[in-house]
Amino acid sequence: MARTSWFKKIWKGRSKGVSTVIGTVFLILIIFMVSTNVLLWTFSQNAEYSQAVMEKNEEEAQRSTENIAVSDISYNAEVGQVHVEAKVTNEGPVPVQITTLWVLDNAIQKYGYNDAVSINLKAGDTFDFTGSNALTVAIENSGLPDELTSWFITARGNLIPLEEKYAGSGNTTIIIQEGTGYPEVTFGALVMDFDEFRYFAYMGYPYNQLINYPDGNLGFNIPKQVYVAYGCMLTNVDPSNRTMVLDSHSLLWQPGRSSVPESGWFIVNVNGTGLVQTTFSPITIGPGETKLIVFASDNDLSQGGFKRLDPPNVVTTVATFLLLHGTLDSSPYAQNVPFVSLFYS
């Protein structure tokens, strides 16, 4: 009996040790499994992000190589209707889809557009939309053909002007400059560099701090559900060498489309660290000077406080314009720059 009791005591002690070892082994296995799952999830997220970045870069690369030549442009205007005729040739290396035709009647300052355009051009292809193939845009009370200006928008967001002339003087000058990629177009004293258009995301805190300022993200493909501000490089090309002063009423305007409402990002001041100022001071652009102008506020800062705009939650393309306001050598000045389309994805 004494031996049995002694053996049981020894085995009882050893069983406790074995249980502890087994428990430790199971704990290590659980930690290993959790760590492995977290690591695999991290790898998968990084892979998805890398893939998204590659796709965005590829889109931007293809967008920058689009090259469309326009010739034989003519207009036939009647009350409420504008008929546009021209030939377009894809002189670039990538296929191009033209999706929208915009027309501006300079005399009455009204726009119209036709978003049912579907012109698909492979490299080297030419499309002739003259005669019965003429494109029609509705503009209420539109009048004389020589007061009209038009441009195409491609599926990748490029603007293709259908005007190749200089006309007028002073604030009504039409200037088209051939740049490295595609034309820089203005209908007044300011011209915008399309290659340098950018957007900025915000930090979580403070709410008015821009990320990666002033470089930003070049391109026209904008992430949805992300608060953003926009940056444009504007140059004063006034032929009379007058000084431009932009006031708080200037904005980047989206007319709205599909389920994206009409929106306006008003001009703001940004300090050297990327902090958007909650009050506004007029911005001066001297003759021949180029400046980065940022549009970020839901409110005109002379009439309300700074507020970010709610980002869209749909995948769509939206037309965008610059509505500029201020003075030119102390004289009242206003200019509408036909811009491009932004693709939210």
256-282 tens-digit pLDDT? 776 778 889 999 999 999 999 999 999
Judge if 134 and 264 occupy the same domain.
no
Judge if 234 and 315 occupy the same domain.
yes
Q: Is residue 246 part of a domain?
A: yes
Asked if residue 81 has pLDDT above 70, the reply is yes
Q: Is residue 176 part of a domain?
A: no
Q: How high is the pLDDT of residue 175?
A: 41
Higher model confidence: residue 8 or residue 72? 72
Asked if residue 4 has pLDDT above 80, the reply is no
Judge if 132 and 266 occupy the same domain.
no
Q: Is residue 132 part of a domain?
A: yes
Judge if 200 and 145 occupy the same domain.
no
Asked if residue 102 has pLDDT above 70, the reply is yes
Judge if 207 and 150 occupy the same domain.
no
Supply 79's token pair.
Answer: 């009350």
297-332 tens-digit pLDDT? 999 999 989 999 887 788 888 888 899 999 999 889
Contact 276, 309 (CB under 8 A): no
Higher model confidence: residue 3 or residue 272? 272
Which ranges constitute the DSSP H helices of the chain? 2-64
Cα atoms in the 13 Å half-sphere on the side-chain side of 118: 1
Domain enclosing residue 124, as ranges: 68-164
- Tell which residue, 67, 92, 154, has the closest CA to residue 119: 154
53-65 tens-digit pLDDT? 666 666 666 677 8
CATH number, domain at 109? Answer: 2.60.40.10
Q: How high is the pLDDT of residue 144?
A: 64
Taking the complete model, does pTM exceed 0.75, yes or no? no
Question: Sign of torsion, CA 137 92 155 127?
Answer: positive
φ and ψ at residue 72, rounded to 5 degrees: 55, 50
Judge if 160 and 72 occupy the same domain.
yes
Q: What is the mean pLDDT of residues 213-235?
A: 90
Which residues have C-beta within 8 Å of that of residue 99, sequence separation ≥ 6? 115, 117, 118, 153, 154, 155, 317
Judge if 204 and 155 occupy the same domain.
no
pLDDT grade for 243, boundaries at 50, 70 and 90: very high
Contact 157, 340 (CB under 8 A): yes
Q: How high is the pLDDT of residue 244?
A: 93
Q: Is residue 210 part of a domain?
A: yes
Judge if 263 and 127 occupy the same domain.
no
Judge if 87 and 221 occupy the same domain.
no
Q: Is residue 145 part of a domain?
A: yes
Q: Is residue 152 part of a domain?
A: yes
CA distance between the termini of the chain: 82
Higher model confidence: residue 146 or residue 102? 102
Judge if 251 and 337 occupy the same domain.
yes
Q: How many domains, in total, are found in the chain?
A: 2
Q: How high is the pLDDT of residue 164?
A: 42
Asked if residue 290 has pLDDT above 70, the reply is yes
Q: How far is CA 168 from CA 98, 141, 165, 187, in A?
A: 29, 22, 10, 10
Q: How far is CA 323 from CA 1, 102, 188, 242, 305, in A?
A: 103, 16, 12, 19, 20
Judge if 150 and 240 occupy the same domain.
no
Q: Is residue 280 part of a domain?
A: yes
Judge if 200 and 340 occupy the same domain.
yes
Q: How high is the pLDDT of residue 106?
A: 73
Q: How high is the pLDDT of residue 116?
A: 86
- Tell which residue, 237, 234, 229, has the closest CA to residue 296: 229
Q: How far is CA 160 from the centre of its chain?
A: 16
13-57 tens-digit pLDDT? 555 556 676 777 778 888 878 777 777 777 777 667 666 666 666
Supply 185's token pair.
Answer: 């177009």
Furthest C-alpha separation in the chain: 121
Q: How high is the pLDDT of residue 163?
A: 56
Higher model confidence: residue 327 or residue 3? 327
150-207 tens-digit pLDDT? 888 888 878 788 754 333 333 333 444 433 334 444 457 888 888 889 999 998 777 8
Q: How high is the pLDDT of residue 55?
A: 66
How are the residues of the chain apportioned to helix, strand and coil, as percentages rounded to the nearest 5? 20, 40, 35
Q: CA 126 to CA 110: how far, in whole Å? A: 30
Average predicted confidence (pLDDT) for the chain: 80
CATH number, domain at 266? Answer: 2.60.40
Q: CA 154 to CA 130: how far, in whole Å? A: 20
